[in-house]
Structure 1
Amino acid sequence: MPLLRFDLVAGRRPEEVRSLLDAAHAAVLEAFEVPDGDRYQVVHQHAPGELVVHDTGLGIERTDDVVVLQVTSRPRPREQKEAFYRLLVRGLHDGCGVAPSDVVVSIVENTDADWSFGHGRAQFLTGEL
């Protein structure tokens, strides 16, 4: 927890995808202060033309390197979210060559009752986590 779902234009090599995942995990660790083993990431790759990411009128130009990231998480303070955005963009740029203009993030919040990590139990509610 949190759960990160990446949408990418297909064509990156496996090591490039792994670098993206590692950079995002580093940002999660620092900004959200979760344990290192708390890593849940899913990658969806789309054919060119199947991922449409406009700029919402901000004048942001995108390339085929665009990374759309949806983070599902327990509620986080604004400061943690802003730190995550900043750290993520820096990590993706420095470690993967992704331009900051090619990073789009949406955080979806839920509660402890919305998570089960296996065995049909809600571990946040049972006290296992």
Structure 2
Amino acid sequence: MPLLRFDLVAGRSPEELRALLDAAHDAVVEAFEVPGGDRYQVVHQHPRGELVVHDTDLGIERTDAVVLLQMTSRQRSREQKEAFYRLLTRNLEKECGIAPSDVVVSVVENSDADWSFGHGRAQFLTGEL
């Protein structure tokens, strides 16, 4: 946890997807200090033209390499989120050649009661985590 959902324009190779997911996971581990084995990621690929990501009139140019990331997570501090954004864009540019202008992140927060990792239990509430 957190849960990362990526929306991408279809066409990346399995190796490119693995590099993207690894780069994002490294940013999560560093920014939020979660264990390395704490990894939940989902990729949704869309045909060109079915993913629209405008720039909110900020003058940001987007390409077909755009990454729209929705992260669902327990509450995180402003500093942690800002570190995550910086680390994510740095990693994606370095490891995948994705420009920081092509990375959009939305964070959805929830609480410990909103997570069950299996066996019908809320492990944050039971003390298992």
TM range (shorter): over 0.9
- Return the alpha-carbon distance in structure 1 between the equivalents of residues 15 and 81 of structure 2: 27
The 5 Å alignment of 1:43-54 reads 43-54=43-54
- Return the alpha-carbon distance in structure 2 between the equivalents of residues 65 and 33 of structure 1: 28
Structure 2 counterpart of 1:63, which letter?
A: T
The 5 Å alignment of 1:1-129 reads 1-129=1-129
- Percent identity over the alignment is 83
Structure 2 counterpart of 1:69, which letter?
A: L
Structure 2 counterpart of 1:38, which letter?
A: D
TM-score by length of 2: 0.99
- Return the alpha-carbon distance in structure 1 between the equivalents of residues 21 and 49 of structure 2: 23
Q: Please tell me the root mean square deviation across aligned C-alpha atoms, in Å.
A: 0.4
- Return the alpha-carbon distance in structure 2 between the equivalents of residues 18 and 46 of structure 1: 17
Query: What is the DSSP-based 3-state SS (H/G/I as helix, E as strand, rest coil) of the residue aligned with 2:52?
Result: coil
- Return the alpha-carbon distance in structure 1 between the equivalents of residues 26 and 36 of structure 2: 9
TM-score by length of 1: 0.99
- Return the alpha-carbon distance in structure 2 between the equivalents of residues 57 and 125 of structure 1: 43
Unaligned runs of 5+ in 2: none
